[in-house]
Structure formats: C-alpha cells, structure tokens
Amino acid sequence: MAVTPGPWVEEWLSQPRFGRYLSECCGDRQRALDLYEWNVELAHAFLRDAGHFEVALRNAYDRAIGSRWTGSAHWLLDPASPVQRPLWRTVRGQRLDVNTPNRAAITAAVRKSGGSSGTAAPGSVVAELTFGFWEHLADAAHEQTVWIPYLHRGWPTGTSRRFVDSGTRAIGALRNRAAHNEPILDSAGPRSVATVELGLLRLLSLLSQDLAAHVRQTSTVSTVLTRRP
C-alpha cells in the first residue's frame, strides 16, 4: 500500500526543498514526491558518469605532468611544483596567491592517505584529491604555468584550454548539486543534465575514445531523462 505523502515529507526534506517540487507539480503532493525520487535517480545516474570522468581526468593529468616533471619529489608533493609554489594573480582587484587552495587540498589529501609530505604514496594522494582540484588546473590563472608546459599534452593536439575549462566546470557544478541531492531537473539550457552529459562525453572522447564508448553504452542518464514523471 502506497504511503500518503503527508507532513512527514516536509519533516524529511524541509519545506523549501519539497516546495520546489510542489511548485513544479502545481501542488500535487504525490506527483511532487515522484518527481523528487526521479531527481534522485537522475543524480545517481549522472554521478556514475561524472565519477568515471573524474578518474580518467586525474590519471591523464598525473601522466601529463609526471612525464615531464624533473623535481626531486612527485609533482604533487614538491614545494617547487607549479601547483604548489606561490602564483600571484589579481582577482577582483585583490592580489592573491591562487595556489593557496591547491596547497590546502594537497595537505588534506596527504593526511587522508595516511602519510606525510615525505612518505605519502603519490597514487593515494592523487585518489584523495577532490574533483575541484583537478578542475582548476586548466583555468586561466594556470595557463602559463600548468596548461602550456604540461596539461595540454594530456589532450589531443589543438584542444582548447577554454573548452576543457568550461566543460569541467560545468561537470563539477552539476556533480556538486547531484551529490547533495539538489534539484537538477531543469530540462533545457547550458546547465541542464542533457547538455552537461553531452559535454562530459565530448571531453571523455578526447581523453579516450574507448572509454567514451564504454560510458555511452553503459550510462543510464538518457534513459532516466525519458522517464521524468
């Protein structure tokens, strides 16, 4: 027997969160709950594909930088690394070291891997770093220090840094919303699941056509999209 979607739904989700779905469904509580469950299913489907992309991206970047890095330690752990050493840029009128978040992320990843800067296994640190760390390595601030000397080698010749940057930012933004069970049900626009998924597959095809084909064949995103209540 189906459970009536009474006040317990707001106690569970909160009024503002459930209110978004009620608004979409003209106040029909059952339809709103069905739509919420569909949103969760869609989030899980997208997170699977985003997870595959994240693993491919971080390993490609590790290879691209590691193959040319000549420092005394792994490129993530060496203080002289272009992702660690101070990198000063003017951001909204302020002079900032844009590598400060990178150093914090690496320190946290080293700690999670159970090591120290001198003993941590590089592979474990790579795996512990967040998607945001890898995402920002292709931003405009790192074009001269990271993209040109290293990262572009992880992509086919002629790949635009701006294309990579905008695509990974879109994936990261949607990934964060999906991971926190926020609404991702917009059906059109540059931030829609269908659009971001298409961008993800395009980027994957540049990293590995075989992997892109595998993700296309096994993804459930398009199927879930067709089942929107």
DSSP letter string, 2-52: PPP--THHHHHH-HHHHHHHHHHTTT-HHHHHHHHHHHHHHHHHHHHHHHH
**139 belongs to a structural domain:** no
pTM of this prediction? 0.94
**85 belongs to a structural domain:** yes
Model pLDDT for residues 163-187, shown as the tens digit of each residue = 999 999 999 999 999 999 999 998 7
Tell me the C-alpha to C-alpha distance, in Å, between residue 194 and each of 42, 60, 141, 148, 225. 11, 25, 29, 31, 8
Domain region containing 121: 71-130
**87 belongs to a structural domain:** yes
pLDDT at 188: 77
Q: Is 148 helix (H, G, I), strand (E, B) or coil?
A: coil
Model pLDDT for residues 5-19, shown as the tens digit of each residue = 999 999 999 999 999
Closest to 171 (Cα-Cα) out of 187, 192, 156: 192
Number of domains into which the chain is organized: 1
Please list, in sequence order, all residues whose beta carbon lies within 8 angstroms of the beta carbon of residue 186, skipping any fewer than 6 positions away: 192, 193
**84 belongs to a structural domain:** yes
**155 belongs to a structural domain:** no
How far apart are alpha carbons 43 and 180 in whole angstroms? Answer: 9
Four-CA torsion 35, 36, 39, 41, nearest 10 degrees: -100
**111 belongs to a structural domain:** yes
**200 belongs to a structural domain:** no
**2 belongs to a structural domain:** no
Model pLDDT for residues 96-107, shown as the tens digit of each residue = 999 999 999 999
